[in-house]
A = this chain, B = another copy of it.
Amino acid sequence: MFVDHDKVGDLPSAAARVSDGDMVALGGGLSARLPMALVRELVRLGRQDLHLVGSAHGMDVDLLVAAGAVAVCEESYVGFEQDLGLAPSYRRAAEAGQLEIRETCCVTILTQLRAAQMGLPFLPVRGVKGTDIRRMHPDYAEIVCPFTGETLVAVPPLEPDVALIHAPMGDRVGNLHLEQPYVLDEHFARAARQVVATVDRLATTEEVVATGVTIPGHRVSVVVEVPFGAHPTSCYPGYAYDRQHLAAYVAAAGQAQTAQDYLAEWVTRPGGEDAYRAALDQDRLDRLMSWSDTIEEWKELFV
């Protein structure tokens, strides 16, 4: 556990806690609360051979794959739902055989994280048997229940080297407030060797406690204030997702060359994360933040 009283750091050194080859858990899910600032910083640092784990993800995985940072992808889903479709870079790398896909399933990954957090060498799951997910995983085994004789699938603990978690608010100790759904973030925080956190806003401990501590500071090794750190994904109650930006990304990512153009324009350009934020349309950001003003305005953000 992390007992220091002040864990505030800067983005480059926080992201640098991820080493090449690390197993990295990504917080949030789909297009919500993805740790995008940390993901962009990993690209800037040129990290590679990462083993990504998570449940259902989108642009975080796709961007890291586009940047050539990923060796293994152990997720239950990567994509942009019905709306924007398949994840272009992920798909291209998988189809070219350049990415090891260890596709998993929500309950399986949850169970593996639970094994890690309970300090157990295995846990059983029902399901998976009879599917090709099982055939894809020589790392699973069979186990017979000593009470019923039923054969179940045994899965090993999954202990990420680092969990990257973005939160709307946190304090200097690393206490983080999240809005539901927490997805796997609580489990990542308990199973991973360390949590590297970004927050849209650093607040006093009193304010975080009053709003509700979801992930306690003793699980967090460093916390960095990065406004719009989840952009272009949402981070409620702060901002809705930037569907225009996501759509532009998905379009760009459709071809290898334009994917690199996106990275050059938005991620690796000089100035780092500050430059990313400065390049965003401020009016658009204001609108994303004003989602709660009226239902009508909220709805308009999705058109």
Interface residues of A (CB under 8 A from B): 119-126, 141-143, 145-148, 150, 152, 154, 156
Contacts and interface: CB of A to CB of B under 8 A. Distances in A.
Nearest to A143: B146
9 contacts: A122-B147, A123-B123, A141-B146, A141-B147, A143-B146, A145-B154, A146-B154, A147-B154, A147-B156
Which DSSP category, helix, strand, loop or mixed, fits chain A's interface?
A: loop
Closest 4 CB pairs of A and B: A141-B146, A121-B145, A121-B148, A122-B145
Contacts of A141: 146-147
Contacts of A156: 147
Given A147-B154, A147-B156, A123 B126 contact: no
A119 B126 contact: yes
A67 to B, nearest CB: 33
A145 to B, nearest CB: 4
Contacts of A145: 121-122, 154
Nearest to A149: B121
A91 B232 CA distance: 63
A62 B152 CA distance: 40
A146 B138 CA distance: 12
A142 B146 contact: yes
A262 to B, nearest CB: 41
Nearest to A156: B147
Q: Which of A142, A147, A148, A150 gathers most chain B CB within 10 Å?
A: A147
A122 B123 CA distance: 9
A121 B151 CA distance: 10
Contacts of A121: 145, 147-148, 150, 152
Contacts of A123: 123-124
A131 B264 CA distance: 62
Given A120-B152, A122-B124, A142-B146, 15 more contacts: A119-B126, A120-B124, A120-B125, A121-B145, A121-B147, A121-B150, A121-B152, A122-B145, A122-B148, A141-B147, A143-B143, A143-B146, A145-B154, A146-B154, A147-B156
